[in-house]
Amino acid sequence: MCETLIGGQGRITPLFPAIRYHGSHWISSFGGSSTGQSFSTISRKSEKKKHHRRNIIVIFLIAIALLAALAMIVGISIFVTKEKALLRAHISLIIDNKEFHDALKNTTSEEFQSIAKPLCNEMHKYFLTSELTSYFVTCNVIKMVDVDGKVGVFFDLDFLKNSQTDSKKTIEDIIIKKSGRLVKNDKLYLVIRDFLVYVKSLKITLETFYVPGPVELPDRDKYLTKVEWSTWSECSKTCGLGIQKRTRNCTEFDIKNHLCDGDEYDEQACQHNPCPALLRAHSSLIIDNEEFNDVLKDNSSDEFHSIAKPLCYIMYRYFLSSDLASHFVKCDVINMININGKVGIFFNLDFLKNSPIDTEKIVEDIIKKKSPKVVKTDKLYYLIRDFLVNIKSINITLEMAYVPGTVELPDKHKYLTKVEWSTWSTCSSSCGEGIQKRIRYCSDFDIQHHLCDGNELKVQACKSDPCPVDGKWTEWNHWEKCSMSCGKGVKKRKRECTNPSPSFGGQNCIGVHIDNDKCQERDCPIDGMWSEWISWTDCSGSCGGGRKERSRSCSNPSPQYGGRTCVGDIITSSICNDQPCPVDGSWSEWNAWTDCSLSCDGGITTRQRTCSNPEPTFGGKECNGNVEESDKCGVEFCPVDGGWTEWTTWSGCSMSCGIGSQDRMRTCNDPEPKYGGQNCTGNNLDFKNCDSIPCPIDGQWAGWSEWTDCSLTCGIGKTERNRTCSDPKPQNGGSSCTGSDDEVKICNIISCPSM
């Protein structure tokens, strides 16, 4: 280090120009050059100053050494943190998918990130399982833009510079080869697939760029993870033995890279508490009421539920007010069917197993004993009454039933509720004072169970807003003074809508508030004004110079009521037709006749002349007559061959349906044969078949099908058979079959065995 600080001539660098080394002595040259002898003389005089200067030099050399060491450290640091060179592949894909248009709005939006992140995740998977796995660095989606109605996606892939990615082909092959390995059942796949499979165009450009510091390669385990199972589904049953399932989606990519063993479905048994046991009473009623026939068509219809729901509601009230109240569970109407013109209703009543109903008789007695207690005045009563009062037959069978989950008993207060009053009716008067009513229907059942005190009507006074008062006009005021002192003016009069004024929403007065009429005190003076000039008179000479005149009158308007007359001339004149007079043209002599144009049937021969004796000048008239005239020649007739006219239109078909015939005709008079000409050749009549519309075929019934199996093995079931209108089917507007296409009858009308 000292050699770099001390010059070759044995002196310190110019940082200290006042000190030099000479032989074995340090000498001073402050203010100029001095000899060694002078320096020695000074040194002998002051040893203390000499020692002080030596200390300064040592400190200086140490400082220089520290600066040099710091420079070496900085250089090493710069060398260690030298920028790294990367190869960046700019990639653009053009796809045709309108679902991405919302994602184009903002690169920070959730829609953009929901596409960009999975796309780059797939790129990581592609390149981390390729020959470029040790060189691939990262992926970034830059933007998405609209390109002529399609979506352009632009993203960058970064690689280490010493990778084998000197050709765009390597990257392109990897993307195309790997695409399509996504999860096929994932909703996100349907989004990403359009980037990676149905690519309209793929473009790649490369550039080299530098980044500071070391480059971290992506963690392979982060992207190449095992395919996870979904969570277990809920058990298929809430009680008893059931199953639960889980799934996963394994792609070819996952299987190839050992991220999944291929199984995509798994299941296991699951078991909850045993299902509770109930005693179910299957009940059937036969009633005679045609009003229910429409309900029998569909047990999911509104009509069905309009009867089924009130029926079960009544059953809840019966049993919740009986000795079985603590054991009754629920009621369900199962079906309603037509049985020989009567209606069969089938419903179930469920009870706790430990209830004291060892016989069907208890249930039957409760239904019959309670049945007359429904609301007598309700319209629905007339429907339900036929179920519960005029019962033709009742049949009850018992069986054990197991239901999922816990059994909840019905809330007694839900069904045994106080009878509510209806809402108050609208006031009998729309304005002013009136009355309003409300009602309730109290049945014997309600009164017996203290759900109603028997009053069925209440009346109260009501008072609405005051009735509206329509406005009416007052009488007209006197006419005001005319608006003009002379000439035509306007006078006005007024009235007010205060007799009475409109109030409480009444209508305003109809008509105008102000009335106008014409008025005139006297005529105003009118000064006369000239009319427009009339047209010029004809020129006095047609050529060579003449005169023409025009006039006007003081009548626009005429002076009246002392007004001034017009100022100026009434008549004015002007020179006209000062051009030379015209010279009319005259014909020359005729030329000789030309040869005849035809040898027979009338030819033409012509001759000509010119308007040149003299020619017309200065607007003179052209010659009157024809430049050319013609005459007939060769008057003998030539032969004329006959010609057919156009065919007439086809006549109507001879048959209204099926196959008939049509005809048409023509005549030989277009032209007729003359002067020895030939007659027409061919027929003057033509025929063809016609097929207007197929004739109608009436439909006929095919044979009946076999009777179906009985719907019940015991109790009252039904069996049915049907037939089709197909022997033959009605065609071409033919009549359809008459009668019903199905029949139903009762079967197995025997009691089911009791438990």
Q: Which residues pair with residue 706 across a beta bridge?
A: none
Closest CA to 262 of 225, 233, 226: 226
Are 204 and 109 part of one and the same domain? yes
| Sign of the alpha-carbon dihedral angle for 360, 366, 371, 372 | positive
Is the pTM higher than 0.75? no
User: Quick check: 175 and 195 in contact, CB under 8 A?
Assistant: no
- Residues spanned by the domain of 496: 472-521
Torsion on CA atoms 98, 100, 106, 107, rounded to nearest 10: -150
Q: Is residue 733 part of a domain?
A: yes
**CA dist 322 to 277, 280, 316, 319, 364, Å?**
22, 18, 10, 5, 13
DSSP string, 523-591: PPPB-----PPPPPPPPS-SSS-EEEEEE--S-TT--BTTPPPP-S-SEEEEEE--SPPPB--------
Kindly report, residue by residue over 229-244, the tens digit of the pLDDT: 888 888 887 777 788 8
Tell whether the torsion through CA atoms of 513, 515, 521 and 522 is positive or negative: positive
Residues 94 and 202 in one domain: yes
Q: Which token pair is 220?
A: 């392979």
pLDDT digits (tens, 9 = 90+) for 170-191: 776 666 555 544 433 344 444 4
Would you say residue 264 lies in a domain? no
Take residue 277 and report the two structure tokens written for it: 């046991």
Tokens of 573: 């004149």
Answer whether 736's CB lies under 8 Å from 730's CB. yes
Q: Which of these three, 187, 211, 235, is where a domain ends? A: 211
Q: Domain holding 616: CATH number?
A: 2.20.100.10
What percentage of residues in the chain have a pLDDT greater than 90? 5
Find, among 640, 660, 663, the residue nearest to 650 by Cα.
663
Highest mean pLDDT (candidates 1-5, 103-107, 365-369, 492-496): 492-496
- 629: its two tokens: 């005239």
Beta bridge partners of 745: 719
pLDDT band at 201 (very low <50, low <70, confident <90, very high): low
Q: Does some domain include residue 198?
A: yes
Query: Is the pLDDT confidence value at 196 over 80?
Result: no
Specify which of 11-25, 231-245, 343-357, 553-567 reaches the highest per-range mean pLDDT. Answer: 553-567
Instruction: Examine the pLDDT at 270 and tell me if it is beyond 50.
Output: yes
User: Confidence band (pLDDT; 50, 70, 90) for 272?
Assistant: low
115 and 203 both lie in a single domain: yes
Residue type, 413: H
Boundary of a domain, candidates 173, 196, 211: 211
Q: State the total domains in the chain.
A: 5
Q: Is 112 inside any structural domain?
A: yes
Average pLDDT taken over every residue of the chain: 75
Res. 738: pLDDT tops 50: yes
Residues 6+ apart with CB under 8 A from 151: 94, 95, 96, 97, 100, 101, 104, 144, 145
The fraction of the chain above a pLDDT of 70, given in percent, is: 75
Rounded average pLDDT over 609-638: 84
- For residue 611, give both structure tokens: 């308007």
Q: Report the CATH number at residue 142.
A: 3.30.70.960
pLDDT of residue 445: 72
| 632 phi and psi angles, rounded to 5 deg | -75, 150
pLDDT at 472 over 90: yes
Rounded to the nearest 5 percent, the helix, strand and coil shares of the chain are 20, 25, 50
pLDDT of 97 over the 90 cut: no
Quick one: tokens of 185?
């059942």
Residue 201: is it exposed, middle or buried by C-beta count within 10 angstroms (0-12/13-18/19+)? exposed
557-590 pLDDT per residue, tens:
899 888 889 998 888 888 888 778 888 889 888 8
Decide if pLDDT at 718 tops 70. Answer: yes
Contact 271, 286 (CB under 8 A): no
The pLDDT value recorded for residue 371 is 52
Of 490, 496, 497, the residue nearest 516 (C-alpha):
490
Can you tell me whether residue 52 is helix, strand or coil? helix
Please compute, for residue 414, the number of CA atoms within 13 A of its CA located in the half-sphere on the CB side.
6
* pLDDT higher at 97 or 233: 233
Q: Do 453 and 466 contact (CB within 8 A), yes or no?
A: no
Torsion angle, CA of 55/57/61/64, rounded to 10 degrees? 120
Q: What is the pLDDT of residue 287?
A: 67
Strands (E), 80-220: 84-95, 136-147, 150-160, 201-211
Domain assignment of residue 460, yes or no: no
As to burial, measured by CB atoms within 10 angstroms (0-12 exposed, 13-18 middle, 19+ buried), residue 690 is middle
Q: For the packed helices 47-80 and 36-45, what is the interaxial angle rounded to 10 degrees?
A: 110
- Mean pLDDT throughout 434-456? 78
pLDDT band for position 447 (50/70/90)?
confident
- Domain check: are 203 and 295 in the same one? no
In a domain? residue 155: yes
What pLDDT, on the 0 to 100 scale, is given for residue 439?
84
**Is there a domain that residue 619 lies in?**
yes
pLDDT of residue 116: 77
Q: Where residue 394 falls among pLDDT bands split at 50, 70, 90?
A: low
88 and 207 part of one domain: yes
How far is the C-alpha of 335 from the C-alpha of 316, rounded, in Å?
Answer: 18
Pick from 386, 410, 396: which is nearest to 317 by CA?
410
Please check whether residue 240 lies inside any domain of the structure. no
* Residue count (the chain): 755
CB 634 within 8 A of CB 601: yes
Q: What is the pLDDT of residues 482-539, one digit of tens each?
A: 888 888 888 899 999 988 999 888 889 998 889 888 888 788 888 889 999 999 888 8
Q: Which residues have a Cβ under 8 Å from the Cβ of 171 and sit 6 or more positions away? A: 89, 91, 157, 165, 204
Q: How confident is the model at residue 98 (pLDDT cuts 50, 70, 90)?
A: low
Is the domain of 197 the same as that of 108? yes
Q: Which among 346, 371, 362 has a CA at the least distance from the CA of 279?
A: 362
Measured between alpha carbons, how far is residue 160 from residues 133, 222, 584 in Å?
Answer: 11, 20, 107
CB 486 within 8 A of CB 524: yes
Which residues are bridge partners to 285 per DSSP? 345, 394
What six digits make up the tokens of 101?
Answer: 């248009």
